[in-house]
Structure 1
Amino acid sequence: MTSQGLRASPEGIRAAKTALTDKTWSQHKLATALGITRQPVSKFFAGESVSRSCFVQICQQLGLSWQKVAGLPEDVAFEATPKVQFKHADLDTLVREVRQKRQDKIQDQCSTLQMLDIAQTVQLMEIYTDINVLEKITSLQWREISDLLKDFKSESNFNQLTGYKRQRKLPGLEAVSRHSKLMLLGKPASGKTTFLQYLAIECNKGEFQPNRIATFIKVKEFAEDAKSDNQFNLLNYISEEFLSCGVEKESTKILLTEGKLLILLDGLDEIPAEKVDKLTIQIRRFTQTFYKNQFVISCRIAAQKYRFQGFTEVEVADFDQEQVEVFAKNWFVAVALNSREDGEAIGNLFINQLHLPENQHIRELAVTPILLHWICLVFQVKDGFSLSPAKLYEQVLNILLFRWDEMRGIKRDRVGCNLNLLNKKKLLCQLAAITFEREDYFFEKETLLQMIADSLDTLEGIYLEANQLQLDWEAVLKLIEVQEGLLVQRAQGIYSFSHLTLQKYFTARKIVEISQSGKNLISHMTEKRWQEVFILTVSMLSNSDEMLKKMKQKIDLLVASDERLQYFLTWLHQKSSSVSTNYKAAAVRAFYLVCVEQSSCDRPCTFIYTSGYDLEYALVGNIAFDPHLALDEFLFSTVACINELDFAFEHSLNDALDRAHAFAIAFDEAIDLVVDPKLKQVLQKLKKQLPPIDSNLENFRDWWQYKGKMWGEQLRNILIKYRNIGYYWQFSEQQKELLRQYYDVNKLLVDCLNSAAYVTPRVRQEIEETLLLAIADIEKVRNSYY
């Protein structure tokens, strides 16, 4: 240092240029702010000698240490650096001593969790589930909508469309071990804070980074405690934090300088907008000054604006199936306060029910930790998933829209229009209805902004600031993306709803808002992707009579013009009516409809619902054993096996053996159930014609190829005579498809009937009594009412 002037070191110049960029200033603007000419500023950035006073002014204006920019020795350049030099052994001793002093504070800060709707705190280590991270940020990838649609094989894989399959997931702990400076990005409530607390606890125990001391800082609290610019200082904040644990400031400075801290900065997205720039500058300075330490910063993925030099960015991945199961099993012990044995048993029951086909919509939400917690809570209280989907989604929205932030005392910044909670929901309903109607699961940013603009114009009580319309639209998008995570960026400039099931829910809400009859929905009855929307809509209507009657009318018209299908439905009614059973007539008709479909294939096939008779189940629940239905089911199965045997012998001898065994079992079971002595006698006589199966399969095949068709004809004639089943219906492929559609929409109608918030008893009775009937039979039933 001389009176002749100072020069900026190469490192100092880089730091000064970064600071200038942070302020979005030019060199000319910096000179104007200082009240000097541009020449000394230019010389400063060129590394040339500048007068001491001018050098200091420039550094102060940029918020930099002039000693550091000048590249002076550490004992002079860093005010934070103590002059005392420690030997390695002495430093290790200091680390152990400070870790011991800090242990209780870290435990108090990080060992427990306050969970939504749970009165008591929960021990973090009892419920913690390891997280995975993605090394490539999905929203930064350059992919087109067509690329995303290639991965869209079914609705069940919607959450995996963010590129998870295209990159390897890395355990979170491994990511922290690999990178000394890590930016942990994630969607709202994805487990970022919990992970940082876990790191602090593990470090505190000496299990992770045993040569470092954990320092956990909630960025929101740091910003709140800084009442003035002078207090906006991370060094002072950490020093005071350590001092409260009996650690002298001098020791803290030594540890920082030597890189002995694991500094965890949680919730970069949680501070007010007016403090963002100051905080960003402070973090940048601090991480550059004390670069030897380990840093992890957490932030919501859409809220991150500034990229800190030297930091590697990773994204928290959604829970996979294994993580969901681990979390759930832990939850029913740690949160529900069950014994380990009982908790794991309930957890296994939860997991088994979660994976049932009808709970696909719940599985989609369970990939987010906060929602999985709430789903476990509902399961615990309701002894199952008995909460209606509409009520489930409404609670999910409340959690994401305000309750999660409210519980933690976080107030997010408002946008340039007064978008309250109700209007926010209306906006999402409008966006969902437009996009789902178009079958758009992904949409370009510009398209989305235009839809937001058009939708805001229709909402009551919304005003936009003059001359900032485009800014406001983007602000609204950012608000929904950052604060609630209900819209997410799937790739560069491509958005979607966070969950497909929520897009359907918002669509249903919009339909209910437009009309209490749901009339705009009826045209989509045969489209499977709309089925959940139908069920959600009727569950939200105050009275579903009109909508259900319109659905029934459309279903009946679907097959009304096909004479053969009308004849089939007439037989279906006659056959079902001849069976003495306590079940609803419609359920018995559904039973025989599936039996016919399964036995009509000329090759191995299954009906739409291979897991069972879904329509009859929806009507009456589990159908217990009934001798009349069981007999016909085994007889139908025998006919189906005959068709499958023909196909198998033509293509695969090995497969034919399995089919032959299934055929023999079904036929034997049927004979055992026969009560009519004449029928039993003719079936037993027919059975004697069959050669042994196991002794020589090739002999059985030869017999089958020569006599199997004739044997099958004899069986069919017997079934027609004695049981009124076994007909060759010979439906065309078009008729088969129409019959499948007919079954699907009847199943949808029954699901809606069971999910409706209110249906008058008369409408319910009329619908149930006329299900799966020919038009002529429907008229007879209706005429009986009048």
Structure 2
Amino acid sequence: MTSQGLRASPEGIRAAKTALTDKTLSQYKLAAALGITRQPVSKFFAGEPVSRSCFVQICQQLGLSWQKVAGLPEDLATEATTKVQPNSFDLNALVREIRQKRLDKIQDQCSTVQMLDIAQAISLVDIYTNVNVLEQISCQQWLEIPDLLQNFNPQSNLQRFAAGNHQRKLPGLEAVSRYSKLMVLGKPGSGKTIFLQYLAIACNQGEFQPQHIAIFIRLKEFAEDAQDKNEFSLFKHITQEFISCGVEEQSTATILTEGKALILLDGLDEIPSEKADRVTREIRRFTQYYYKNQFVISCRIAAYKYRFQGFTEVEVADFDYEQVEAFVKNWFVAVAHQSREDGEATGNLFIHQLNLPKNQQIRELTTTPILLHLIFLVFQVKAEFPSNLPKLYEQVLNILLFRWDEVRGIIRNQVGCHLTVDHKKNLLSQLAAITFEQGNYFFTQEQIQQLITNYLGTLPHLNPDALQLQPDSETVLKAIEAQNGLLVERSRLIYSFSHLTLHEYLAAKNIVDNSQKEAWKTLVNHINKAHWHNIFLLTVSMLTNAHEMLGLMKYKIDILVAHDEKIQDFLIWLYDKSLSVSTNYKAVAIRAFYFVCARVIHTPSYELESALVGNIAFNPDLALDEFLTSTLTCAVELNFAVEHTVNDALIIDHAHALSIAFDEALDLVLEPEFKQEMQKLKKQLPSTESHHKKLRLWWQTNGKVWVEQLRARFIKYRNIGHDWQFNKQQIQLLQQYYDANKLLVDCLNNSPSVTPLVRQEIEETMLLASLIYLEK
């Protein structure tokens, strides 16, 4: 028996068949699980001799004592065990041998990446940026819309509350080390494939899990190969690949059985639907039978349906600032082929411009690697971001809707016979317009499905069977979510657009595509709402003729303050004051300057003036009035501090600020009488070096009168410093009026269709009182 191997006894065969049934296995599945051919398994159940190694493995897989199955006396157990596990076998040596044989294969498979619109393959290690993952899947959270809105500011972006910003991020490599079976989920273009390729390269080079052998399988290719051979066997697929590297089948089986493989299965979502069930079953079977190995599977988060037993699910986190910065610098060296020094310089320029407030909408897109890559391509042409943002956003839509799959040869299920790319764009723009009008940045699945149903009802029926072929709303929603990533499930059954920037763009696109006066009138009703300003800018920049739209905006802005007498008096003063200044700048720019200078609103800078003419160069009148206004402001703030604070240090700081501002203004005063009056007032002030009690006492006794005397001099000699005494509502209205005028100027600057004559007509009538009050 020793020379012929081991043979199962009749009792052992009956026990083995019972165990086979209990485990719902067939002889074929048992052989596959052991990584051996079916012949020894058939011999085992026929009672024929089988090699000791196979015999013991079969019994262990069935959960039986091999000694009892063979009918061996107990005193032979030690001898038989020694023979089936010879001391001469060195598993580590086998791992090293196979790793060496497969080194070039893995490098060829995984060391380069093909990037969108880049002709050459790019070295992965040159472009790779470390990946972080989230251990809590966003769409599995039980949050309500009020929870999501709690920290939401529509003037920032969706990334502030996007999945994971409140979670601790785990480095991707640490997650793979921590969990032996890992499902890596992520949005389209989030870097899942590159992450798996990096794992393969790092393992192959001994930098990560050096005691394992990397096996990288693109599941789409596996499914295609299986179709040709009508076989869906990962074991055979791996065996054949190993054979091509000079590795024998038995060695492959040993590696898999002993758990020495790092098996990376990429693109579960890319498998054609007709093969998805068979491939899924094979993955389940294979991962259970060869459970000792390390497994990492990648899949788009919205396309993940089947949950594999024993797998931990993580979600690829959006890029944070540090990752964007690292990717930027790598990109300009590896992809743009600049030197390390030039690449870092260009990368720094990119980061600087990206962080400018005007580029906030572009910055939001950079959290997704594929969109960040697109922005690089646009930026490198002129070393600046595009002025025509709608063209960039249209490219983003095309990438997510079809180009990213197209360049990789992936054909996904069609949502329905009528839903072309244009239909999808129209549907998304309609969804965006309706939800934005309603003020809904988040919406329930029920709400969005109803809007989809309404849209589908407008599609023409092109043939008698169209009604049956028409997709239902849930199918459409899930397809757009899974295939395009433009709608994202933020929490259980609660959705939003993937980026607020795209939500705004699509809403504006809907207005442009339905260019009617009614749509424009509806839009201008929101001109005093800050979160609508991007919609205005995008709409005007896309219109082939924006003159009428701009005229409606101008009329609506004037109406905002037309019936407030005190505000109209302020605008009359603004007009008179601007006429008293001798300058070559546009009159509207001077009015904008004094609007801010009057300190009736809170604005950090002269934004409207800058939008009109850029930075106004030094002008004696403007400089003097600005310094005088600063002096009056310092005096008012000091007086307020004396009345409302016990902090002497703060009062002294205010006194120093007033002294400096007063001296700077006094240096610019040229009119003798005015200068003399100013000097008299300056002498009345106590020294800033005075004891703090003396300083406080003087201001408590004389402060209010002194400030009013200062204000009276400014009004008399410069016609500035008026105390308009606007109430809270009027201040809010003035702020809206100023911001709306700033928006109008931005629209003039962003619209390619505006003629010089139209611009002149609008600018000449900005920041003026209405005709009703002018006639008074």
Q: Alpha-carbon deviations, 1:653-695, whole Å to 9, x = none?
A: 3333332232222222212223334333332332222222145
> Given residue 659 of structure 2, which amino acid in structure 1 is its aligned partner?
A
Aligned to 1:450: 450
Aligned residue for 1:729, secondary structure, equals: coil
2-side partners of 1:137 and 1:397: how far apart? Answer: 25
Task: Report the alpha carbon displacement of residue 88 of structure 1 after superposing the two structures with TM.
Answer: 8.9
2-side partners of 1:771 and 1:646: how far apart? Answer: 35
Q: Alpha-carbon deviations, 1:537-564, whole Å to 9, x = none?
A: 1111110111110111111111111121
Aligned to 2:533: 531
Task: Report the CA distance shift for 1:15/1:178 in structure 2 as closer, same or farther (over 3 A).
Answer: farther
Task: Report the alpha carbon displacement of residue 772 of structure 1 after superposing the two structures with TM.
Answer: 0.3
CA contact (8 A) 2:184 2:299 kept: yes
CA contact (8 A) 1:770 1:778 kept: no
**Are 1:692 and 2:694 matched, yes or no?**
no
**Are 1:746 and 2:741 matched, yes or no?**
yes
Q: Alpha-carbon deviations, 1:725-784, whole Å to 9, x = none?
A: 11111112221111111111111111111111312332211101111011139989xxxx
Q: Alpha-carbon deviations, 1:685-734, whole Å to 9, x = none?
A: 32222222145333222222222222222221221122111111111222
2:603 pairs with one of 605, 609, 616? 609
Task: Report the alpha carbon displacement of residue 295 of structure 1 after superposing the two structures with TM.
Answer: 0.5
Task: Report the CA distance shift for 1:455/1:568 in structure 2 as closer, same or farther (over 3 A).
Answer: same
Task: Report the alpha carbon displacement of residue 67 of structure 1 after superposing the two structures with TM.
Answer: 8.8
Task: Report the CA distance shift for 1:546/1:471 in structure 2 as closer, same or farther (over 3 A).
Answer: closer
> Given residue 531 of structure 1, which amino acid in structure 2 is its aligned partner?
H
Task: Report the CA distance shift for 1:464/1:689 in structure 2 as closer, same or farther (over 3 A).
Answer: farther
> Given residue 751 of structure 2, which amino acid in structure 1 is its aligned partner?
A
Task: Report the CA distance shift for 1:385/1:296 in structure 2 as closer, same or farther (over 3 A).
Answer: same
Shift >4 Å, 4+ stretches: 1-17, 65-75, 83-89, 460-471, 777-780
TM-score, scaled relative to structure 2: 0.88
Aligned to 1:167: 167
Q: How does 1:434-513 map to 2 (within 5 A)?
A: 434-460=434-460, 472-513=472-513
Aligned to 2:553: 551
Task: Report the alpha carbon displacement of residue 385 of structure 1 after superposing the two structures with TM.
Answer: 1.6
**Are 1:736 and 2:731 matched, yes or no?**
yes
2-side partners of 1:462 and 1:594: how far apart? Answer: 60
Aligned residue for 2:227, secondary structure, equals: coil
Q: How does 1:521-670 map to 2 (within 5 A)?
A: 521-597=523-599, 607-610=601-604, 612-649=605-642, 650-651=644-645, 652-670=647-665
Aligned to 1:784: none
> Given residue 283 of structure 1, which amino acid in structure 2 is its aligned partner?
I
Aligned residue for 1:296, secondary structure, equals: strand
Aligned to 2:521: 519
Moved more, 115-124 or 392-401: 115-124
2-side partners of 1:675 and 1:420: how far apart? Answer: 72
Moved more, 612-621 or 333-342: 333-342
Task: Report the CA distance shift for 1:463/1:591 in structure 2 as closer, same or farther (over 3 A).
Answer: farther
2-side partners of 1:293 and 1:756: how far apart? Answer: 60
2:670 pairs with one of 650, 672, 675? 675
Task: Report the alpha carbon displacement of residue 166 of structure 1 after superposing the two structures with TM.
Answer: 3.9
Task: Report the alpha carbon displacement of residue 412 of structure 1 after superposing the two structures with TM.
Answer: 1.1
Task: Report the CA distance shift for 1:8/1:570 in structure 2 as closer, same or farther (over 3 A).
Answer: farther
Aligned residue for 1:92, secondary structure, equals: helix
> Given residue 339 of structure 1, which amino acid in structure 2 is its aligned partner?
S
Task: Report the CA distance shift for 1:775/1:274 in structure 2 as closer, same or farther (over 3 A).
Answer: same
CA contact (8 A) 2:415 2:471 kept: no
2-side partners of 1:179 and 1:301: how far apart? Answer: 19
Task: Report the CA distance shift for 1:327/1:727 in structure 2 as closer, same or farther (over 3 A).
Answer: same
Q: Alpha-carbon deviations, 1:37-65, whole Å to 9, x = none?
A: xxxxxxxxxxxxxxx89xxxxxxxxxxx9
Task: Report the alpha carbon displacement of residue 165 of structure 1 after superposing the two structures with TM.
Answer: 4.2
1-side partners of 2:463 and 2:177: how far apart? Answer: 49
Aligned to 1:24: none
Task: Report the alpha carbon displacement of residue 184 of structure 1 after superposing the two structures with TM.
Answer: 0.2
1-side partners of 2:766 and 2:86: how far apart? Answer: 87
Task: Report the CA distance shift for 1:365/1:592 in structure 2 as closer, same or farther (over 3 A).
Answer: same
Aligned residue for 2:305, secondary structure, equals: coil
1-side partners of 2:597 and 2:315: how far apart? Answer: 50
Aligned to 1:279: 279
CA contact (8 A) 2:183 2:311 kept: yes
2-side partners of 1:511 and 1:460: how far apart? Answer: 22
Task: Report the alpha carbon displacement of residue 176 of structure 1 after superposing the two structures with TM.
Answer: 0.6
Q: Alpha-carbon deviations, 1:189-220, whole Å to 9, x = none?
A: 00101111111111112111010011111111
> Given residue 354 of structure 1, which amino acid in structure 2 is its aligned partner?
L
2-side partners of 1:74 and 1:176: how far apart? Answer: 35
Task: Report the CA distance shift for 1:66/1:272 in structure 2 as closer, same or farther (over 3 A).
Answer: farther
1-side partners of 2:630 and 2:258: how far apart? Answer: 78
1-side partners of 2:186 and 2:717: how far apart? Answer: 66
**Are 1:720 and 2:715 matched, yes or no?**
yes
Aligned to 2:703: 708
2-side partners of 1:657 and 1:328: how far apart? Answer: 47
Q: Alpha-carbon deviations, 1:125-160, whole Å to 9, x = none?
A: 222111111111111112222221223244425223
CA contact (8 A) 1:101 1:246 kept: yes
1-side partners of 2:407 and 2:684: how far apart? Answer: 76
Task: Report the alpha carbon displacement of residue 74 of structure 1 after superposing the two structures with TM.
Answer: 9.8
Task: Report the alpha carbon displacement of residue 164 of structure 1 after superposing the two structures with TM.
Answer: 2.1
Q: How does 1:193-342 map to 2 (within 5 A)?
A: 193-228=193-228, 230-342=230-342
> Given residue 686 of structure 2, which amino acid in structure 1 is its aligned partner?
P
CA contact (8 A) 1:9 1:70 kept: no
> Given residue 616 of structure 2, which amino acid in structure 1 is its aligned partner?
I
Task: Report the alpha carbon displacement of residue 5 of structure 1 after superposing the two structures with TM.
Answer: 4.9
2-side partners of 1:741 and 1:479: how far apart? Answer: 41
Task: Report the CA distance shift for 1:552/1:464 in structure 2 as closer, same or farther (over 3 A).
Answer: farther
CA contact (8 A) 1:417 1:465 kept: no
Unaligned stretches of 5+ in structure 2?
Answer: 1-7, 30-44, 47-56, 70-82
Aligned to 1:47: none
CA contact (8 A) 1:631 1:670 kept: yes
Task: Report the CA distance shift for 1:505/1:753 in structure 2 as closer, same or farther (over 3 A).
Answer: same
Task: Report the alpha carbon displacement of residue 173 of structure 1 after superposing the two structures with TM.
Answer: 0.9
CA contact (8 A) 1:416 1:464 kept: no
CA contact (8 A) 1:12 1:69 kept: no
2-side partners of 1:643 and 1:91: how far apart? Answer: 84
Task: Report the alpha carbon displacement of residue 631 of structure 1 after superposing the two structures with TM.
Answer: 1.7
> Pairwise CA RMSD of aligned residues?
2.8
CA contact (8 A) 1:223 1:275 kept: yes
Aligned residue for 1:227, secondary structure, equals: helix
2-side partners of 1:119 and 1:628: how far apart? Answer: 59
CA contact (8 A) 1:570 1:777 kept: no
CA contact (8 A) 2:507 2:535 kept: yes
Task: Report the CA distance shift for 1:286/1:757 in structure 2 as closer, same or farther (over 3 A).
Answer: same
2-side partners of 1:162 and 1:135: how far apart? Answer: 14
**Number of aligned residue pairs:** 722
CA contact (8 A) 2:365 2:371 kept: yes
Task: Report the CA distance shift for 1:84/1:190 in structure 2 as closer, same or farther (over 3 A).
Answer: farther
CA contact (8 A) 1:453 1:473 kept: yes
Task: Report the CA distance shift for 1:439/1:616 in structure 2 as closer, same or farther (over 3 A).
Answer: same
Moved more, 326-335 or 690-699: 690-699
Moved more, 331-340 or 628-637: 331-340
Aligned to 1:755: 750
Q: How does 1:105-124 map to 2 (within 5 A)?
A: 105-124=105-124
CA contact (8 A) 1:193 1:266 kept: yes
Moved more, 690-699 or 746-755: 690-699
Aligned residue for 1:117, secondary structure, equals: coil
Q: Alpha-carbon deviations, 1:203-249, whole Å to 9, x = none?
A: 11211101001111111111112234643211111112122222222
Task: Report the CA distance shift for 1:708/1:140 in structure 2 as closer, same or farther (over 3 A).
Answer: same
Calculate percent identity across the aligned residue pairs: 61
